[in-house]
Amino acid sequence: MIAWLLTGGLKSIIAVIVVFMVLVTIHEFGHFIVAKKAGVLVPRFAIGFGPALFRFKKGETEYSIRLFPLGGYVMLAGEVPQEQLFKMGETLSVHVNDAGEITEISDPRGLPNGIQGELKQVEMQHDYTMTLQLQDGVVSYPISKKAILLNGKDKIPLAPPDRQMHQKPLLARMAIVLAGPFMNVVLTVVLFAIVVGVIGAPKTPPAIASVVPNTPAASAGLHAGDVLEAVNGQTMTNWNQFVMAIQGNPNHTVQLKIERKGKTFNLPVRPEKDSQGVGFIGVSPATVHGPAMAITGGVTQTWSYTQLIFDALGNLFTHKNAFVKDMGGPVKIVAVIGQQAQLGMLNLVNLTAVLSLNLAIFNLLPIPALDGSRFLFMLVEGIRGKPIDPRKEYLVHAIGFAILILFTVFRTYLDVTQLF
């Protein structure tokens, strides 16, 4: 174990934790900041799941880092109907201020000196009142706008109607839901821009920086500095287009249109087939550097990977066994992060960008419990002119979350069997 840590295992563990925390934090921050701007009460901002390792409270929000870093959440008041925090007929103890408003709610053990009674009714979407059966009769109390529910050691702020998620205008709620995936896309562009800024972006039109000896390019007479204008008559506007043209013609001669020192001529080259079955000729691209090029490259890379991800999603439904072969669960992702951490920081940054984009797109799928499903409910609300019953929507998301957990466990099992 010690030898494994000394040979890079510790670096891999740190890389996995940092990558997941960055991805989750930026995603949840998107929901958090837009919800705050919209006036929604945000009682909790948590990175990870399970017991809290570290927590502090600033303003009305508790921030925490939890034991298991594979996830996180932002608690938005009213996203789950607050009435579900209570059970009709249970005995509660409450503190009431001088204005007659309930300020604290707990079971009798949590507030032994409070007013105790049986819960008869609670309304938190409009009137914001709680009705208790006391010894001398039934009393209805207004709830303070700063009321707190005591649940063991937890203090959960309760939100008045104007601070609840589902009471906000439809467009505001849509913005809150989409803000998480949007921030992941922004992170992807930034990280790809960093990578492009370091290694440079291929010149346009594409040009050769170096030629590998004893390769088809060297045999054909290609030189460093050659500008690649066309392949088989098709104009080349970028390096990726040139790579695709070469990869698609293994063991077939192609005609390159070359510009060299102001002169243009055609040069035949025959790509060889590599171990993956695609063509290669043995050249590297000439690159340019600069802030503008880095930003443009970050956007271009993000768009290219977006297309690849959607192609992969399509394969899940059109190719047999693609679910098993192409997808990766937590174990496989952790393994890949560890591998890239050993190869260097730039590789890790590039992988983090890809994972961030995957997280954004996956969250936008219309799967219950994900952001895409919540957005779909809002679209339905916009079409029909009234919201779906919050309790029914919550039930759908709860079932979806349970299914996602089962899927994750199953996918983890497949990862383990494939790796070992």
Q: Which of 127, 158, 189 is the last residue of a domain?
A: 158
The reply to whether the predicted model has a pTM over 0.85 is no
Whether 124 and 258 map to the same domain: the answer is: no
Confidence of residue 178 (pLDDT cuts 50, 70, 90): very high
Task: Please report the pLDDT score of residue 415 as a whole number.
Answer: 56
The distance in angstroms from the start CA to the end CA of the chain is 18
Q: For residues 271 and 332, state if they share a domain.
A: no
DSSP assignment of 358-380 equals HHHHHHTS--TTSHHHHHHHHHH
Q: Is 396 found in the same domain as 311?
A: yes
Yes or no: say if 182 and 30 are a contact pair by the CB < 8 Å rule: yes
Phi-psi region of 257 (alpha: psi -120 to 50; beta: other; left: phi over 0): beta
How much is the average pLDDT of 223-234?
A: 93
State both tokens at 69.
Answer: 């870093």
- Asked if 108 and 119 touch (Cβ cutoff 8 Å), the reply is no
Q: Which of the residue ranges 253-257, 330-334, 404-408 would you say has the lowest mean pLDDT?
A: 330-334
* CA atoms 345, 347, 348, 354: torsion sign: positive
Q: Which of 104, 130, 158 is a domain's end point?
A: 158
Looking at the fold, whether 196 and 252 belong to one and the same domain comes out as no
| Residue 51 forms part of a structural domain | no
Q: Domain for residue 74, yes or no?
A: no
Shared domain for 354 and 414, answered yes or no, is yes
Alpha carbons within 13 A on the beta-carbon side of 157: 21
Nearest-angstrom CA–CA distance, 309 and 312: 5
Mean pLDDT of the chain, nearest integer: 86
Q: Is the pLDDT of residue 101 over 70?
A: yes
Residue 43's nearest CA partner among 73, 72, 75 is 75
Q: Are 380 and 345 found together in one domain?
A: yes
Distance CA 408, CA 290 (A): 42
What number of CA atoms fall less than 13 Å from residue 90's CA on the CB side? Answer: 15
Closest CA to 251 of 274, 284, 285, 219: 274
- Catalytic residue check, 62: no
68 bridge partner residues: 49
Is residue 1 pLDDT above 50, yes or no?
A: no
Does 1 reside within a domain?
A: no
| Same domain assignment for residues 304 and 393 | yes
**CATH classification of the domain holding 248:** 2.30.42.10
The reply to whether 298 and 339 lie within a common domain is: yes
Query: Which one-letter DSSP state was computed for residue 7?
Result: I
Statement to judge: residues 31 and 177 lie in one domain: yes
In this prediction, residue 323 has a pLDDT band, given cuts at 50, 70 and 90, of very low
Query: Range of 278's domain?
Result: 201-288
Q: How many domains does the chain have?
A: 3
In this structure, the answer to whether residues 279 and 365 fall within a common structural domain is no
pLDDT at 397 over 90: no
Identify whether residues 183 and 224 lie together within a single domain: no
Q: What phi and psi values does residue 48 have, to the nearest 5 degrees?
A: 95, 175
Residue 323 and residue 415 in one domain: yes
